[in-house]
Structure 1
Amino acid sequence: MTAETDTRQNLGFAAVLFVFAVVMIGTTLPTPIYPQYQAAFGFSGSTTTVLFAVYAAGVIAALIGVGQLSQIIGRKPMLLAGILLSFVSAILFSIGTAEGLLFAGRIFSGFSAGILTSTGTVAVLEQAPAARKAVAGALATAANIGGLGLGMFLAGLVSQLTPWPTRAPFVMHALLLVLAGLALLLVRETVKKQQDARFRLQRPGIPREARSVFGAASIGAVAGFAVCGLYSSVAPNFVGTVLGIHSALVVGVVTASLFAASAVAQIVLGKLAVVRAIVLGSILLFVGMILLAVALPLASLALLIVSSVVSGAGQGLLFSYGLRAIVGATPDDRRTEATSAYFVVAYLAISVPAILAGFAERLFGLAPTGIGFAAVMAVLCVIGFATRKRFAGAAD
């Protein structure tokens, strides 16, 4: 291999990671700005949870609808589609003159995230040079989950520093997407287009051999992603109403901490045995929920951030090792179906509990809702811990 070829492969690898991260940044940009939207449009806290659920529905629709399309038309066209859909979302949010535009923006954002979730990870693995094959999976995770956290932090920072708090973050993101489109030129196509291939929906399925492991892994995925949904949709109201802090940057830090900790835990603790990782993840998420239940009545920002970090680390371990166990227990020709089913479960978990929490907030108030939510998630962690033996023998 020549030095020129090696350089080209490294640039392509870096470019696809950049594209992945930039698209995922857009999916969480609205989170720190929800309080400003509530003030501008007069909608309730429950509306913000519906906005988040619309995004999750878009992700699921894309996973099922176009999950296998990149195998037919190529990775680069699908990555470009994700960039363009994310760009449309950024434009709709930057206009932001009506509530309907926000919902439309979230739908487009969900579609873009769904495309990148299914195509981006595979593209990263395929673009990785030989010297980086071993870390490609971890870097794909960092681009995905890290992008989610970075989106929240950047939105909070930009909205705090500019006089256009509900517009400037999305203008910034639109510019980043233009750069991502240019970066895509450096990415090589790894799929030979199949002229006679037939398009079909990506049907989620659970092979009989993997059902026991899938059920156990789904408990951790549901708990972890429900916590992600809570922090992404309801946390802004917690910070503003319960803690009395009206800063988009603070909201961004609180929510970004969870996703950053998730990404770091998956990378740093990526060589644990599966059972040990599931046990550690369950304990960390359980402790995180206890901290959340204590932070809310005490109105403690410090405890809320610690809860976010600890919960994020637990979520990262439960989700990544649950996925690893499912892949290890599933025959090669059924793995796409099984992983699709796992992601559908995860994104249902990220939206449905958040919606319920949003409506419970109107009936019981924010602090009681948060404490009740934390208690339910803690119970799920205990159940997940109790099923740890099902992971024995899973691929490590």
Structure 2
Amino acid sequence: MNIIARVALPLGLATASSCLLAIAAEAADPESIAAAVDATFEPLLGAHDVPGIAVAVTVDGERHFFNYGVASKDGGAPVTQDTLFEIGSVSKTFAATLGAYAQVLGRMSIEDHPSAYMPELEGSPIDEASLLNLATYTAGGLPLQFPDGVTTNAGAPAYFAQWRPDAAPGEMRRYSNPSIGLFGHLAARAMDADFAELMEGEIFPRLGVENSYVRVPEAAMDAYAWGYNRNDLPTRASPGVFNAEAYGVKATAADMIRFVEANITPERLEPEMRSAVEATHVGYFEVGEMVQGLGWEQYPYPVTLERLLAGNSATMAMEPNAATQLTPPRAPEGPTLFNKTGSTNGFGAYVAFVPGEGIGVVMLANRNFPIPARITAVHAVLEALAE
């Protein structure tokens, strides 16, 4: 663990945040970074009964890793930067990158409609939406999850063919696994390949992601943490419809900070992947005080904690929200914070970075603990880093 100095704090986040005001006055050297991370993340283990947390920080291309607790209660293997965690909906940022990459290669356009790659949807209401609408949850009200009766990828086209919208495409954002799941699935079809194979064989390597998977191979199972559900039972994600595209990536903190750095400085990537990553930074819809892009959600930086919490609230995740399309789409005009939360039954994740400041934080945990606590901790560390 790259820890030089530790700050002992009570469990309250308010106390931790006030202490960080003093820490932030110091330069972002390894010692002050360690103090900032310890102050915010170490208390979360006890406050939310989290078995283990991996945190990775990047500051101007320098990586720092901080590991707390265990990857499994049975045996007590410690968390490391190479522990595999389920990253939940942070996976959507990879699906978005695949779609942008397919567009850069000329294999698809986000202005296309679903029937271009799934002909059985031609003439159905969902074919009124574009692939952009699918990627930004603005197709017209697709639900958070597939109905219980839809249990396989093969059954998904019939579900989409009979679905009826609540609004015209582009008028409403309703966060939805079926929506971006279909987007990722169609992007893979456009590339004439399986989604998992594309991720593991092409997208991950081109992004510098070395030891992360959609399908964890037997040789890597020892590195795969156990998550813990609300009954404190060990659990891992079960197969689901378009789960690979929407929430199926298992990643390490070391890999995720490489992914963050690829987003902070995409110019170091090969040209096609650079263009794809930059395309995921374009904003397409304003939803409240948040801007929805491809996978990533955006805020002008600096951003208050209150605004960040509102943009990642249950209201934004569970309810329809009015959306205003940005015409033309908007590339960031100044310092911008990009973020994404992710959860499965036994895991919780949060990623945030500010390219203009050269800073980013990854947090992976084997407990789905409250999102506000994750965001409060990461926001406090980013504030300290930016000083």
- Does the TM-score normalized on the shorter chain lie above 0.5? no
- Taking structure 2 as the reference length, the TM-score comes to 0.27
- Taking structure 1 as the reference length, the TM-score comes to 0.27
More strand by share: 2
